[in-house]
Amino acid sequence: MTDVHNQWIEQAEYDLAAAGDMLKAGRLYYVLFCCQQATEKMLKAIYARKLNNVPPRTHQLVRIAEETKLELSEEHKNFLRELSAYYIQSRYPDEMDGMEPEISVDLAELTLLRTKELIQWLRSAPR
């Protein structure tokens, strides 16, 4: 599963870089989407490594984290729920309409910063 683990990490890093690129381009919806994707893929890398199995085809970040037995703080769980909501909202046009007033450059920057911090924490999480 090492190859699978590394492939998920590469994809997580790619999505995290894409989130930064989307911020520079002013594509705020996609900052949030890419942050969710980067986090999901890092969690799936941990899943592949710890459970030596193919990660589930789900986008529910808390569920993936719980299956890996990560000891998450409530703050981390809440942020994972927030990212999961952004994923749904940014994929479906009727959901995106409700997001528009909420999204700002400040929110996108903060979400990207928090995602970077979370991914760094996940990298150092106990094996």
The pLDDT value given to residue 86: 83
> Nearest CA to 50 among 112, 110, 8?
8
> Nearest CA to 103 among 18, 23, 17, 16?
23
CATH fold of 2-124: Four Helix Bundle (Hemerythrin (Met), subunit A) (1.20.120)
Angle of helix 74-91 relative to helix 28-51, nearest 10 degrees, comes to: 120
Domain ranges of the chain: 2-124
**For the residues 22-32, what does the mean pLDDT come to?**
94
User: pTM for the complete prediction?
Assistant: 0.89
**DSSP helix/strand/coil, 67:** helix
The pLDDT value given to residue 2: 67
10-19, 89-98, 118-127: which is most confident: 10-19
Q: Is the pLDDT of residue 113 over 90?
A: yes
